[in-house]
Amino acid sequence: MKKLLYLLAVSFGMISCESKDPVLFEEGLENYPTLKKVLSDTAKFQVQIIYTQIDRNEHGNPLFTDHSFNLNDNHYFYPASTVKLPIALLALEWLEERNIEGLTLETTMLTDSVRPSQLPAFTDSTSQNGLPSIGHYIKKILLVSDNDASNRLYELMGMDYINQKLREKGLLNTVITQRLSFPISPDENRHFNPVRFVDNSGKTLLELPERHSDSVFVVPGNPKIGQAFYRNDSLIQGGMDFSYKNKFALSDLHGVVKRIVFPEAFVGIERFNLNEEHRNFVLKYMRMLPRESSFPKYDTMEYYDSYSKFFKFGADKTPIPSRFRIFNKTGWSYGFLIDGSYFVDYETGVEFFVSAVVYVNEDQILNDDKYETKEIGLPFFAELGDYLYQRELKRKKQIPAKLPNISWND
């Protein structure tokens, strides 16, 4: 019986195989000096990489072959904005679970405040109608990694819902317990604003009171990072404590991107329970560039194409050729740069998953705004993306890829 289930899983593309390629990340690095430098000093740069080759079976279903470098889900890194991806996906799952007539992506979402640490949100000048909604918050998260948008969805669902759902899906190395770029205490992060959804006539469709979680989520190992850090204008000696911040291991990030691109490759309980309309909505804005958005409209000098597309293009501010589409989520903070991506070339049919994290903080001081992002961080991602892309161009595939057919227009 077990053998039959295994064969069925392979047939439908639900099995990932691990491969030890002796050449990968060891040879062919002559033209990639920053990549070579980072890979040769894993202790300093705390680099981790997961690369997944994608093949197809006779049914067109994906078959994954995973490669990893220095992967360690127990080694903590600050995930920064990458946690916004599961927050966005779970907000859609939460929405579908309500099953309330008239409550949709576009329904006006009014956030109130009842504590000094909370901020209200009754308008949104970047949306077409000037009003906030779940859908518009998700757009801003995926287009330019908007912090406030993510915080609003965190406040909507609360940490108990978020963390319970992640565990149910097998994402066991993730803890999400805080708003981002919003310095409040762990206890204040356990309080969630009142939220009200109203239709176009102002009628209330759903009202949530202020809520509070009694749960205390702590990052395993109580990690500390750096040798010193700034708090306001004071330099504090010793590592910064990340015990009550977020954790999102690279394997979990990689798995979330896989789940939204190929949900059929996972058993039902591991998937995000989204209808096709909502799934396509996410894919559309994961791959969209800021300049392609109408609402919000972004200044392309600040939000250039590679602003949140690190692999292959992160070190270059020129427009990304239209043949390439990258369905991804990035994060960067405290010297950590992270990207989890599904990389596609629509001209050649190349497709692969790649996720990586690198730490660039030579002086080991946090919050001093001295990180080697431009010198090492972004070139590392650009070179790694091109290194893997060139390998994929040479790889022979028995069955061509069936790439996502998503409208490019906003």
Q: 29-394 adopts what CATH topology?
A: Beta-lactamase (3.40.710)
Q: Please give the average per-residue pLDDT across 117-139, as a whole number.
A: 97
Sort 394 into a burial class: Cβ within 10 Å, 0-12 / 13-18 / 19+: exposed
Q: Residue 386: CB partners within 8 Å, gap ≥ 6?
A: 32, 312
Looking at every residue in the chain, the average pLDDT score rounds to 93
Q: Residue 15 has what pLDDT?
A: 56
Local confidence band at 166 (pLDDT 50, 70, 90 cut-offs): very high
Contact between 330 and 145 (Cβ < 8 Å): yes
Q: 253-284: buried (b, 16+ CB within 10 Å) or exposed (e) per residue? A: bbbbbbbbbbbebbeeebbbbbeeebbebbbb
Greater confidence, 105 or 10?
Answer: 105
Q: Residue 345 has what pLDDT?
A: 96
Residue type, 410: D
Distance (Å, rounded) from C-alpha 122 to C-alpha 110? Answer: 5
- Is the per-residue pLDDT at 14 higher than 90? no
- Is the per-residue pLDDT at 407 higher than 80? no
Own/partner contacts of 214-217, CB < 8 Å, gap of 24 or more, are 214/190, 215/159, 215/160, 215/163, 215/190, 216/186, 216/190, 217/159, 217/163, 217/175, 217/177, 217/244
Distance (Å, rounded) from C-alpha 312 to C-alpha 388? Answer: 9
Q: What is the pLDDT of residues 268-316, one digit of tens each?
A: 999 999 999 999 999 999 999 999 999 999 999 999 999 999 999 999 9
Half-sphere exposure of 5 (CA within 13 A, CB side): 3
Distance (Å, rounded) from C-alpha 391 to C-alpha 394? Answer: 5
Strands 228-231 and 365-366, how do they pair? parallel
Distance (Å, rounded) from C-alpha 13 to C-alpha 7? Answer: 10
Local confidence band at 7 (pLDDT 50, 70, 90 cut-offs): very low
Distance (Å, rounded) from C-alpha 272 to C-alpha 157? Answer: 15
Q: Residue 390: CB partners within 8 Å, gap ≥ 6?
A: none
Q: Please give the average per-residue pLDDT across 148-167, as a whole number.
A: 98
Q: What is the pLDDT of residues 193-244, one digit of tens each?
A: 999 999 999 999 999 999 999 999 999 999 999 999 999 899 999 999 999 9
Distance (Å, rounded) from C-alpha 266 to C-alpha 352? Answer: 17
Greater confidence, 265 or 22?
Answer: 265
The neighbour count for residue 78, using CB atoms within 10 Å, is 25
- What one-character DSSP code corresponds to residue 173? T
Q: Residue 249 has what pLDDT?
A: 98
Q: Residue 403 has what pLDDT?
A: 84
Own/partner contacts of 216-224, CB < 8 Å, gap of 24 or more, are 216/186, 216/190, 217/159, 217/163, 217/175, 217/177, 217/244, 218/175, 218/243, 218/244, 219/76, 219/175, 219/243, 219/244, 219/245, 219/246, 219/247, 220/74, 220/247, 221/74, 221/76, 223/76
Q: Residue 408 has what pLDDT?
A: 58
Q: Please give the average per-residue pLDDT across 368-381, as a whole number.
A: 97
Greater confidence, 12 or 130?
Answer: 130
Q: Residue 11 has what pLDDT?
A: 45
Q: Residue 267 has what pLDDT?
A: 93
Local confidence band at 5 (pLDDT 50, 70, 90 cut-offs): very low
Sort 56 into a burial class: Cβ within 10 Å, 0-12 / 13-18 / 19+: middle
- Is the per-residue pLDDT at 337 higher than 90? yes
- Residue 173 has φ and ψ, to the nearest 5°, of -110, 35
Side-by-side strand order, sheet with 234-237: 234-237, 228-231, 365-366
Angle, alpha carbons 62-68-72 (nearest 5°): 125
pTM of the predicted model as reported, rounded to 2 decimal places: 0.94
Give how far Cα 261 sits from Cα of 18, 239, 251, 264, 344, Å.
Answer: 20, 38, 16, 9, 12
Distance (Å, rounded) from C-alpha 225 to C-alpha 76? Answer: 9
**Which of 60-64, 95-99, 180-184 is predicted with the least confidence, judged by mean pLDDT?**
60-64
Sort 31 into a burial class: Cβ within 10 Å, 0-12 / 13-18 / 19+: exposed
